[in-house]
A = this chain, B = another copy of it.
């Protein structure tokens, strides 16, 4: 991260002992000292407007658009240019991101690796992604044409909206218990697919809160 000028690291539920050692290691850079430690991915990406998941080649059929890394820079550049904040999410080395993690991502990015050896070392995957973005999306880092932040929707707002919609589904007996997990997942993906503005999200949130309040009386 430091090699390519990135500084905002959030670590989700790290293994306590390793994390303490890493932070107290001699020469641990500011980056590690200042890293945000959170218990859930939702928290780590809450103030981002574009969340990109990595390491998708593995098992499952992806549910979002998959962008090859060499083509990612324009997406990130455009988001930064309009004043958005972008998160790049990496999973643990062995098993990658969970389905739940992936449901928080707008897009997925794929490093084009050789079919015979698709699985990369985590540190090398991070280096490759950040090299690509620094080299080819860096020009847009300063917001050229920032829009009103109200027009952007934060990942955290989408999560609040999803939570209320979910509660409403329950209160309305919308679906059998067996379907809840699937509905929850699809709802998350849908909210990221439809490109809401912040105002849209807040308006819909207000509506659902009202509905929920009525249902719960």
Contact = CB atoms under 8 A, between A and B. Distances in A.
A139 to B, nearest CB: 12
A70, A116, A124, A132, most chain B CB atoms within 10 A: A124
B128 A5 contact: no
B118 A3 contact: yes
Contact of A127 (B4, B70, B124, B135): B124
A-side interface size class: 20 to 34
A196 interface: no
- Give the number of times this chain occurs in the complex, counting copies: 2
Interface stretch (A74-82, A86-94, A106-114): A106-114
A121 interface: yes
Nearest to A3: B113
Contact of A123 (B69, B119, B123): B123
A136 interface: yes
Given A120-B127, A121-B123, 4 more contacts: A3-B114, A3-B118, A69-B131, A124-B127
